[in-house]
A and B are shown apart, each in its own frame.
Chain A
């Protein structure tokens, strides 16, 4: 059901929505994987969000739970901007949507954000399913053409893009029967400054319990991969320009203009004072690294000398440890 949409709408997705969905999913999943004795008591408390609490005795062997919620935002002309989201109670087996809850939430959000409308709904999973259509139709009374935002929670290290897809519904005639099916649409990510800061913060969160050394290593790894990515992108651009110069690739002046504007923005600072300070800091870092290497080397050397002395020195000191000179 995934051909591309033909509605011509541009979708802009804010990171807040993605963070919300993933948070919702993680919470539900972690509450589900409690030990069996606790699950039965907690399942009563978390019955709103738990879709699989009938299987309270098991933990992670279950298929991962699906979470549902609503996305809200603004539609201006042909641009649909999804700003925020909230959770909903929905049971796919009984197909019951808690309408009162939905309306209460809508009212609350309307008070704070008067411009936002319910644009659609979200869920988690690897692909859109037939059963999702019911939810979709249920929302159609609030919004004639709701959106379906799907987040794939499986972690795939090889994947480079975000595992988020936006589906729209279109009426297609299949086998003579008009049916609503989901079609995929492309979207852009749009950030506000506050969101950028929080995303940055989340990206740098490392599992706690690491010592200072592992935290430093993790931070440096992050910087390293960022620089590596920057380097590879510049290389791609460079190859493209070289190809254009040689004539293999047809000249595109719009791309050339963009590249030249990018280049003219750099270097950001080019003053003597900056150069001075920069070199001094560079030198300081190098000196500290040098010092660290020295210390490392001397400690290895010291151990080696100790071993050598114990082995070969006929009159080595007995008793107690030799002091580190």
Chain B
């Protein structure tokens, strides 16, 4: 106990300047084991420390406290303590002990899930992320936890705000996988299918040596979202996806591939029978809701196909071709699509004719100029980043050893001054 009190006084004394804090960090590292040994009795000491001034010390104590198993009664009190800590801690100090911070936040999330109140944690986790990440382009281990809380709490909007940012730095690959997967699910929840497709695409094409479960689940959802959005799905993965993914994912998601076959026929009846027969398997994957959305999107795809053939069409004909029940339903569908700006058409109610129009965008307005200009600026920034990464990659020793060895054997017609054997 004496050592604990001594530690507390030291924390209080050494938390003012940066050099003191570094000294303090060393002390705390040495005292780590003794902290863990005394974990059950550390709670009263926490009151002596102020989280905003002594963030580092507080963090060590807190982490030792929450390291062991926690019961439900303790969970609510711990949640309060951690909440107070998260809202008032100082970012420079917590970054010094990043692993501890991450584990504290994870325990926080676990406790909230245990208590069944994920909503309480959403805003706090957001502040924790903001304090922890070194820049908005940095993906930390906290991001997937945060998104999981958002999903459980169904607060999609807050989650979406985090997804808007571009990521350029990742700590751990598992973070990226989970982040993109959860992010994709949040976007599906908000019906932003385009963004969901991008995120799920990231999971599927991310570099991996062996196929992991996250990628498999993501691939299933990816197929479904792609069907909803585009009405089609390319069966081959792009060349920048890992070879492990390219070979194995297909066999693991065969069910969904077959669904794509029946989708492309355009017949609602076939699709519905297929869904019905495989219902349990879809439910097992928690994808049944998405599958039902796919079925309803088939109508949209059929109507879209009509716009490419006909200039005007009567509502009755639309209903017949698309196998909708009545003219009413056809009108509702077309109206919905016009509102969502998926097609351009006008409905003449007097004689029930629909005229399909061209995209009225003339690209002549000043707003369009500003849009294109901002896109060009963004693209320039991105291009610089990619060139930088490319240069870094060219200097990478593993690339040089592999790349040069291959070229030596096979590029006789394109001889250039690459040395034959690169000893690194």
Residues of B within 8 A of A4 (CB): none
Docked CA distance A308–B389 (Å): 11
For chain A, what secondary structure do more than half of its interface residues adopt (helix, strand, loop), or is it mixed?
helix
Minimum Cβ distance to chain A for residue B168 (Å) = 14
Q: Tell whether B317 is near chain A: CB-to-CB under 8 Å.
A: no
Contact present for B379 and A309 (CB under 8 Å): no
Contact present for A293 and B379 (CB under 8 Å): yes
Contact present for A310 and B399 (CB under 8 Å): yes
Q: Which residue of B lies closest to A305 (CB)?
A: B240
Contact residues of B between 353 and 390, Cβ < 8 Å to A: 362-366, 368-369, 372-373, 375-376, 379-380, 382-383, 386-387, 389-390
Contact present for A280 and B240 (CB under 8 Å): no
Docked CA distance A307–B382 (Å): 19
Given contacts A279-B369, A280-B362, contact A311 B239 (CB under 8 A): no
6 examples of A-B residue contacts, CB within 8 angstroms: A290-B375, A290-B379, A297-B382, A297-B383, A307-B399, A311-B398
Q: Which residue of A lies closest to B410 (CB)?
A: A319
Q: Which residue of A lies closest to B403 (CB)?
A: A310
Contact present for B365 and A297 (CB under 8 Å): no
**Chain A residues near B (Cβ < 8 Å):** 276, 279-280, 282-284, 286-287, 289-290, 293-294, 296-297, 300-301, 303-305, 307-316, 318-320, 322, 325
Given contacts A297-B382, A304-B389, A314-B209, contact A289 B376 (CB under 8 A): yes
Partner of A294, one of B368, B379, B389, B406: B379
* 9 nearest A-B pairs in the assembled complex, by CB-CB distance: A311-B399, A305-B240, A286-B372, A297-B383, A283-B363, A304-B390, A279-B364, A280-B364, A307-B393
Given contacts A279-B365, A309-B239, contact A300 B386 (CB under 8 A): yes
Docked CA distance A308–B239 (Å): 11
Residues of B within 8 A of A297 (CB): 379, 382-383, 386
Q: Which residue of A lies closest to B372 (CB)?
A: A286
Q: Tell whether B207 is near chain A: CB-to-CB under 8 Å.
A: yes
Contact present for B376 and A286 (CB under 8 Å): yes
Contact present for A311 and B396 (CB under 8 Å): yes
Contact present for B243 and A301 (CB under 8 Å): no
Contact present for B380 and A322 (CB under 8 Å): no
Docked CA distance A77–B410 (Å): 84
Contact present for B372 and A283 (CB under 8 Å): yes
Residues of B within 8 A of A305 (CB): 239-240
Q: Tell whether B394 is near chain A: CB-to-CB under 8 Å.
A: yes
Given contacts A282-B369, A286-B373, contact A300 B387 (CB under 8 A): yes
Q: Tell whether B284 is near chain A: CB-to-CB under 8 Å.
A: no
Residues of A within 8 A of B376 (CB): 286, 289-290, 293
Q: Which residue of B lies closest to A308 (CB)?
A: B393
Residues of A within 8 A of B403 (CB): 307, 310-311
Contact present for B399 and A286 (CB under 8 Å): no
Q: Tell whether B202 is near chain A: CB-to-CB under 8 Å.
A: no
Contact present for A314 and B380 (CB under 8 Å): no
Q: Mark B152-182, 1 if CB is under 8 A from A, else 0.
A: 0000000000000000000000000000000
Given contacts A283-B364, A297-B382, A304-B386, contact A314 B243 (CB under 8 A): yes
Residues of B within 8 A of A280 (CB): 362-364
Q: Tell whether B350 is near chain A: CB-to-CB under 8 Å.
A: no
Q: Which residue of A lies closest to B247 (CB)?
A: A315
Docked CA distance A147–B318 (Å): 90
Residues of A within 8 A of B387 (CB): 300
Q: Tell whether B402 is near chain A: CB-to-CB under 8 Å.
A: yes
Docked CA distance A305–B237 (Å): 14
Contact present for B366 and A279 (CB under 8 Å): yes
Q: Tell whether B238 is near chain A: CB-to-CB under 8 Å.
A: yes
Q: Tell whether B262 is near chain A: CB-to-CB under 8 Å.
A: no
Q: Which residue of B lies closest to A312 (CB)?
A: B207
Partner of B363, one of A287, A301, A310, A316: A287
Q: Tell whether B242 is near chain A: CB-to-CB under 8 Å.
A: yes
Contact present for A283 and B368 (CB under 8 Å): yes
Residues of A within 8 A of B410 (CB): 319-320
Residues of B within 8 A of A313 (CB): 242-243
Minimum Cβ distance to chain B for residue A273 (Å) = 12
Docked CA distance A293–B379 (Å): 7
Residues of B within 8 A of A287 (CB): 363, 372
Residues of B within 8 A of A312 (CB): 207, 398
Given contacts A297-B383, A305-B240, contact A286 B369 (CB under 8 A): yes
Contact present for A310 and B402 (CB under 8 Å): yes
Docked CA distance A283–B373 (Å): 10
Q: Mark B197-226, 1 if CB is under 8 A from A, else 0.
A: 000000000010100000000000000000
Q: Which residue of B lies closest to A286 (CB)?
A: B372
Residues of A within 8 A of B406 (CB): 310, 318
Docked CA distance A308–B402 (Å): 11
Residues of A within 8 A of B369 (CB): 279, 282-283, 286
13 further interface pairs, Cβ-Cβ under 8 Å (given A307-B390, A309-B239): A279-B365, A279-B369, A283-B364, A283-B368, A286-B369, A290-B376, A293-B380, A296-B383, A297-B379, A297-B382, A300-B390, A310-B399, A311-B396
Docked CA distance A286–B363 (Å): 11
Given contacts A282-B369, A293-B380, A300-B383, contact A322 B239 (CB under 8 A): yes
